[in-house]
Structure 1
């Protein structure tokens, strides 16, 4: 029996339209569906929670069995499934020091920047301030000049007769067996002075009556520091300072409350008391 397509379509439509084929849902179908959905949701949440706890336990246990730290030489050893991998710490990681960040090198010629050299300084060094200038020793020029070899026309080593021939007058104040003390005055000396003359070696000591000054500017009022600065080889003695002058004589500066109060010239080659 041959049926055309149109007739087949009409029969199928009539069959599907038959009310006898309808299956009405039961009265409690909605509540059954909601209850089943809630049951499936609770099962899924329970399975996920159990799976998460199990995964955490496995990860902790695996971590404890996989990693071992060797602190003797700073090497970290990781072993898993029988395999061992040694990892050395960075060389720049030292105890108490943070690792230095590595600086990436230039990747191309465009990354390299060359800084220009600093400009040459053209400024000239400033002149020292007045306070930085070397201090100048105050020079004393008051009073007669007591030279390093004598006083006026009198020179160390002259005999009594030679001293008397220098236009001076000798007044004996103290006579001794070896040496005599005289007061000299006259045009042959800048000022009156006391001299000591040895019968063996001649004139040995000259002490002007006024506070004399030396060629180095030491005289009345000069301090001990001034003397030591002018004569580096000077040495302190009782009541003053002795300063060598040349190879055959020395100055003796007697100090008082205002500085030098008396200056004498003394020969090193003598047999008289100082």
Structure 2
């Protein structure tokens, strides 16, 4: 539809002349109302910020309270909220109408604290250590040469007279018996002179050194009977001596005196000679 410019202008004039498009005049207090609304919005914003700050403070205090430890056993309160400790203890002897008595300073690091038993409690005196040491606390005997479980130096149980002579050991002072002979053995092949018994059938069966010796288990001159029994649980007493196994084919014979062991011999378990 084509509208001429005159007709379009008339319609626009009629439209602009319509009273319904007129804006009502603002009320007289419009400025006051606008300023009051702006103030209300500003107060709301400040209130929200304050509430947020209080909430943050509450969270911080709640986190610190989780670090509080109360010691009610001795009336002492210890609080630690930021890594530092504060100890508070109420004054003792505090009664109504009576001022607190001055407290006695506690012991310093250089003072000793002696515990006092409560009334009615039984006191026990600690047992005093025995003046006699136990066998396990006595030192092992290591003085003198070693009398091993199989012989003395190069002398070995079971050797014949020829074998003994081949070990640079000289046999002298022979005392012949029916089946065995007693000799004095000495030389480079033995640590010290010794009395030996050689059987015609079994060879060397007894070695008794003339000096104080010790065994590999630490038993020797001066060892007590209890020490011998502790070192050799299978030992037994025979005619005042203590006989202890030395390996599977030999045994030690310890002669005891007032000071303990005074002589040690090594004997073969299978022999045909006396003692």
Matches within 5 A, 1:1-274: 135-274=136-275
Aligned with 2:164: secondary structure? helix
Scaled by the length of structure 2, what TM-score is found?
0.50
Please give the per-residue CA displacement for 1:193-244, whole angstroms capped at 9, x wherever unaligned. 0000000010000000012110000000000000000000000111220001
What are structure 1's unaligned runs of at least 5 residues?
1-130
Aligned mates of 2:139, 2:236 — CA distance in 1: 20
Scaled by the length of structure 1, what TM-score is found?
0.50
Question: Residue 172 of structure 1 contacts residue 180 of structure 1 at CA under 8 Å; is this kept in 2?
Answer: no
Aligned with 1:261: secondary structure? strand
Aligned mates of 1:136, 1:157 — CA distance in 2: 37
Please give the per-residue CA displacement for 1:158-195, whole angstroms capped at 9, x wherever unaligned. 01110111101110331123100000111100100000
Larger Rg: 1
1:70 corresponding residue in structure 2: none
Aligned with 2:230: secondary structure? helix
Please give the per-residue CA displacement for 1:133-163, whole angstroms capped at 9, x wherever unaligned. x944521011111000000001000011101
Aligned with 2:271: secondary structure? coil
What are structure 2's unaligned runs of at least 5 residues?
1-128
The alignment covers a number of residue pairs equal to 142
Aligned mates of 2:271, 2:150 — CA distance in 1: 14
Aligned with 2:264: secondary structure? strand
CA RMSD of aligned residues (A): 1.4
Question: Residue 255 of structure 1 contacts residue 261 of structure 1 at CA under 8 Å; is this kept in 2?
Answer: yes
Aligned mates of 1:188, 1:205 — CA distance in 2: 16
Aligned with 2:211: secondary structure? coil
